[in-house]
Amino acid sequence: MTPCWWGFLAGRPAEGHIALVGSTESRTGIGSLLLSRFAEHAATAGATELTVVLDSRRAGGWERRRFFEATEFTPVRSSAVHFAKPLP
């Protein structure tokens, strides 16, 4: 997972942007674990939400969308590719 440098790591902790979650094998729990750890780190740094923009041009787009929806991300302003999740 690669955080966006203009987000919380640059000293502006309003959001943690997820640029990449990946594994060579689907449905192993690795993506969920990476996302969980990133969320913990972002919340500790002061982020109030996580955001992600899905790449709809690549194969597996629907699977990625289902992954983020299953982890409680919701579309931003009815977008098909931009999702967000509030942090506790």
Please give the tally of structural domains in the chain: 1
| Residue 2 located in a structural domain | no
Is residue 3 pLDDT above 80, yes or no? no
Give the largest CA-CA distance in the chain: 34
| Residue 3 located in a structural domain | no
**Boundaries of domain holding 77:** 8-86
| Residue 62 located in a structural domain | yes
The proportion of the chain whose per-residue pLDDT surpasses 90, expressed as a percent, equals 14
| Residue 1 located in a structural domain | no
| Residue 55 located in a structural domain | yes
Q: Which helix (H) or strand (E) holds 31?
A: helix 30-44
**CATH code assigned at 14:** 3.40.630.30
Name the pTM for this structure: 0.70
Q: Model confidence over 10-26: pLDDT tens digits?
A: 555 566 666 665 555 67
